[in-house]
Amino acid sequence: MAADDLDVVFTVLPGALPALRRELVRSGLTTSPEGGGAPEADDGAPGDGPNDADADELRLTLPRTAETLRTLARLRTAVSASLAVATDTGRPTGLLSSESLGEVDRVLEAISWQRPRVTFSGLRLEAAGAETPQMLRIAAELAERAGVPVSEDGDLVVRVRRARGAGWEALVRTTPRPLATRPWRTERYPGALNATLAAVVVDEVEHVRWQLGGSDGGVDGDEGDAPVVVDLMCGSGTLTLERLARGRVARAVAVDVAPEAIAILERHQRASRIKGRIEAVVADVADVARTGGVLADLAGTADVVVANPPWGELLGAHATNERLSRDLLDAADRIGADDVVVGVLTHDIRRFERVLDHDARWRLIARPQLFAKGHRPRLFVLVRA
């Protein structure tokens, strides 16, 4: 690796690698998604290929510039980004060699280039045997160079592990909090969707729109390409906010049957300062399915319909999820445009598949499997048959 490069390691949710690859292209960090793309098909294969379905890491060499660090901090489909320092010696204390420590200094300097400037309260070492004398020695030396104390609650996170092949490496996280953390999330809501997972859902749906000839939902699209987006089961608003963060929309409508969810969504949007107006509506998807209800004016206009229906655990019940799935597809049919793309994220996979198998109105385009808090939900991306 050249002296003016950085060895960057991204942590990703299993199933999210294709979305991250595409985001790296959009952000200008790479010029090719390296084979990334949504599944084309009717085979419903998860992810992008055999190497992507369960991958939880991506490694790239990127230019050592302030713009690289600023761009890394804005990524939405990665859990975190770290800068690697390696030694080919057989012991982790090889990271304390003058050469490795010089590289640590270069990494810390690069992290300091971020604007707005980031500050760290302490260094937390994560490693097997973190309490052994040699690991404590490594932690103390790195903390001294960073100008912070060693702390169990430190936000300068350094992971020490065996390098692939031979030797050891230290991975220094570039931000005090994971990239997956959203500062606008000020309140907890049962069953709230992980924000990184929501960003991946948005990307998969927008990628299918692009494959079918529409805009990819990027920030540079023409105003005329801005879609009408409806979230039929918005909860505290994670999917809707992630879509607004992705790029402009002609109209964004978020619907939930729970007034408290809508209230939290509105507070989250104010905290987010994300541009764009959300029309937040208290409504039952069953009413939308039958008559259009309060969304009657949207009939036949929605370009994108997304939903994260209850998984039957923290919210909802498995016994009623089949009926809910039918209502959801009926509602999408009512409000969707002719070329609508529908994205439904569910952990109740078999029940949703049973409903879909008996609904001739929809064609399955992709069904990547993702990872969320110990669950493996699938995203069903549908278009009209």
161 in the same domain as 48: yes
Task: Tell me what pLDDT residue 44 has.
Answer: 38
Name the band, by pLDDT with cuts 50, 70 and 90, for residue 304: very high
Residue with tokens 């490694």: 59
Supply the mean pLDDT for the chain.
90
Calculate the CA dihedral of residues 24, 347, 328, 185 and round it to 10 degrees. Answer: -60
Please compute, for residue 248, the number of CA atoms within 13 A of its CA located in the half-sphere on the CB side: 9
Name the band, by pLDDT with cuts 50, 70 and 90, for residue 276: confident
CATH number of domain containing 142: 3.30.2130
Q: Examine residue 222 and state whether it is found in any structural domain, yes or no.
A: yes
CATH number of domain containing 333: 3.40.50.150
pTM of the predicted model as reported, rounded to 2 decimal places: 0.91
203 in the same domain as 93: no
Task: Tell me what pLDDT residue 214 has.
Answer: 73
Name the band, by pLDDT with cuts 50, 70 and 90, for residue 275: confident
161 in the same domain as 280: no
What is the spatial distance between Cα 232 and Cα 333, in angstroms, rounded to a whole number? 12
217 in the same domain as 166: no
Percent of the chain scoring above 70 in pLDDT: 89
Task: Tell me what pLDDT residue 283 has.
Answer: 96
Give the model confidence (pLDDT) of 31-46 as tens digits: 987 633 333 333 333 3
pLDDT at residue 204 above 70? yes
Task: Tell me what pLDDT residue 38 has.
Answer: 32
> DSSP assignment of 132-184, as one string?
SHHHHHHHHHHHHHHTS-B-TT-SEEEEEEEPSSSSEEEEEESSSS-TT--TT
C-alpha 345: how far from chain center: 13
Give the model confidence (pLDDT) of 365-383 as tens digits: 999 999 877 889 999 999 9
Task: Tell me what pLDDT residue 41 has.
Answer: 37
Count of H helices and E strands in the chain? 10, 13
Q: Examine residue 280 and state whether it is found in any structural domain, yes or no.
A: yes
pLDDT at residue 120 above 50? yes
Residue 289: which domain range?
Answer: 195-384
Give the model confidence (pLDDT) of 233-253 as tens digits: 999 999 999 999 999 999 999
Name the band, by pLDDT with cuts 50, 70 and 90, for residue 176: very high
Tokens of 334: 């009512």
